[in-house]
Amino acid sequence: MRRKNRKVSANTAAAGEHAAWIGGLVVLAGIMAIVNVLANTTCNQLMASIDKKEKALAKLKVQCQNENTRLASLYTPDKLSIELSRRGMAMNVMQPRQLIKMSRSGRPYSVSQADIARARAVDERAATSSYRAPARRR
């Protein structure tokens, strides 16, 4: 009968099995590190593009506000007449005496003889211009 070799322990086979598990865990940790780096890079790129778009949006909001302010300033009669003359349009702002208030049924409120005389004067002036008011039905 042969004697066992005392230098080789009984757990040598088990140590090889543990080495395989440890190697697998190292490979898994490496793959997870690579995935983490890729995810971090993608996240940073997305954050940078969001920042650029937010800055562009802020600039556009300021431009929109400036344009709204500029357009609102054109509604004053002086600026409106300057813009109309610059574009070659011969239009005047109507005078308060040229206004006739109408009811929902289409009839003027409190028609007096003075109102009728003013309306006729306006109609005569309109007849000399290129614009002709539509005929009224009675």
Phi first, then psi: give them for residue 128, nearest 5 degrees: -85, -15
Residue pLDDT, tens place only, 82-126 = 888 888 887 766 777 777 777 777 777 766 666 677 777 777 766
Question: Do residues 91 and 84 touch, judged by C-beta distance below 8 A?
Answer: yes
Q: What number of H helices and E strands is found in the chain?
A: 3, 0
What is the average pLDDT value for the chain, to the nearest integer? Answer: 79
Q: What is the distance, to the nearest Å, from the Cα of residue 51 to the centroid of all Cα atoms in its chain?
A: 16
**Long-range Cβ contact pairs of 50-55 (< 8 A, separation 24 or more):** none
Rounded CA-CA distance 31/23 in Å is 13
Please tell me the predicted confidence (pLDDT) of residue 16: 66
Domain extents in the chain: 94-129
